[in-house]
Amino acid sequence: MKILVTGGAGYIGSHTVLTLLEQGHEVEVVDNFDNSSPESIRRVEQLTGRSVVLHEMDLREEERLTALFAEGGYDAVIHFAGLKAVGESVEKPTLYYGTNLESTLSLLRAMTASATRTIVFSSSATVYGDQAPVPNVETYEPLVATNPYGQTKVMIERILTDLAASDDAWRVGLLRYYNPVGAHPSGQIGEDPQGIPNNLTPFISQVAVGLREHLTVYGDDYDTPDGTGHRDYIHVMDLAEGHVAALDHLAATPGIGARAWNLGTGTSSSVLEVVAAFERASGVEIKRVVGPRRGGDLTYSYSDPSRAESELGWRATRTLDEMMADLWRWQSQNPRGYRG
Ligand code: NAD
Ligand code: WQD
């Protein structure tokens, strides 16, 4: 298939582009490099020996995007592009609603003007909000996220579902990711956060290379065995393979409409378990202090991944130790990320 990947230079996008190329697909990328660098795609090309056509473009440049679709002949789109920092979205809600919704609407109008009707969307476990029981199941409603970023995911899922209901030519996959971590086992591509990382594992690996002084553990008084929060960490390569499985399923299932799948492992690990796994993988002791809880954090978040297994034939297979070993290979070989 010929696939257009939006946000393909980013963390999850670059690993997915690599997996698509390795499985024989043709890939083009649209990215404005707001949170990434073309270097990730250059490295994907080196690793795979295949080339990727890179369009530097903001998805909101609708005329250019429409022209791209008119010429492109894409069989499907994977839509990663968007802003993703939860805390920033609370401070700048209009930036988040504006960017994520306008980009997606521009993309969907450009697709509508072309013949492309298959799209896989990067949704998030954040759509389950703070009331859903764990493990999360896809049938849970109502979807109400606790921050503007998460609400953009809820809204875009709704837009895509309505679009699929309007015309049965549309095939829509809504992939609800849990906590993507790790890197390609080569250590050549990985997560490259700008500024202070918001997420746990890039913070840990930056402490390990001396870019940060210590990790602050956000609360050790949760109702869990060691008192720290539990999450469903998933290796980014398992996640990348989940996208290919979803695309294959959509291609084989005319009339599917819109369908959601959780992409997680079905198990959870605590903050301290993640730190311990990283220390085992790297041999570096992570200096840490316990701080107060972070507002909005859940005690437990983890998936029921059984729908993805039965319908997509996909299951996460990589362990937490592999996630941390691959993260360490990336961080130790690229202490300052793609900026070198
Ligand atoms: P990322 O920031 O590394 O990648 C997003 C990419 O989109 C970047 O390359 C960025 O430059 C590009 N982009 C942003 N706005 C754009 C625009 N208007 N036009 C063109 N390009 C634009 O993020 P990621 O971690 O790879 O996440 C990818 C997707 O997965 C996002 O939609 C995110 O919300 C979702 N997601 C991420 C996580 C996570 O923890 N990383 C979890 C659940 C869902
Ligand atoms: C994981 C655990 C923290 C940093 C976020 C988004 C979610 C999704 C994935 C996109 C929690 C603890 C963290 C630190 C810590 N993204 N922690 N010290 O919050 O589960 O999910 O990213 O859709 O929507 O909310 O991930 O990596 O920030 O935190 O103790 O410096 O690590 O409290 O228990 P989270 P995270």
Domain range summary for the chain, segments of one domain joined by +: 2-182+232-264
At 285, list the tokens: 């002791």
Pair 280, 325: CB distance under 8 Å: no
Pair 262, 220: CB distance under 8 Å: no
pLDDT interval class at 47 (50, 70, 90) = very high
Side-chain half-sphere CA neighbours of 134 within 13 A = 19
Q: How far is the CA of 201 from the centre of ligand 2 (A)?
A: 9
Architecture of domain 2-182+232-264: 3-Layer(aba) Sandwich (3.40)
Give the integer Cα–Cα distance in Å for 173 and 260.
6
Give the integer Cα–Cα distance in Å for 204 and 323.
13
Over range 253-272, report the average pLDDT.
Answer: 98
Alpha helices in 183-270 (DSSP H): 200-208, 236-251
Query: Which ligand lies nearest to the CA atom of residue 218 in the structure?
Result: 2
Give the closest residue (by CA) to ligand 2 atom 7.
Answer: 126
Over range 73-88, report the average pLDDT.
Answer: 98
Q: Write the DSSP string, 56-97.
A: E--TT-HHHHHHHHHHH--SEEEE--S---HHHHHH-HHHHH
Q: Which long-range contacts (CB under 8 A, 24 or more apart) does 249-252 make?
A: 249/173, 249/311, 249/312, 249/313, 250/76, 250/118, 250/120, 250/171, 250/172, 250/173, 251/1, 251/75, 251/76, 251/118, 251/171
141 has a pLDDT exceeding 80: yes
Ligand 1 within 6 A of CB of 127: no
Q: Catalytic residue numbers?
A: 149
pLDDT in tens, 179-194: 999 999 999 999 999 9
pLDDT interval class at 339 (50, 70, 90) = confident
Over range 67-73, report the average pLDDT.
Answer: 97
- DSSP reduced 3-state for 224: coil
pLDDT interval class at 220 (50, 70, 90) = very high
Using most ligand atoms within 8 A of CB, pick from 233, 294, 320, 323 the residue to mutate for ligand 2.
294
pLDDT in tens, 293-315: 999 999 999 999 999 999 999 99
Give the integer Cα–Cα distance in Å for 195 and 172.
34
* Predicted local distance difference test score (pLDDT) of residue 303: 98
31 has a pLDDT exceeding 80: yes
Indicate the angle between helix axes 11-22 and 236-251, nearest 10 degrees: 60
340 has a pLDDT exceeding 80: no
Using most ligand atoms within 8 A of CB, pick from 200, 221, 270, 275 the residue to mutate for ligand 2.
200
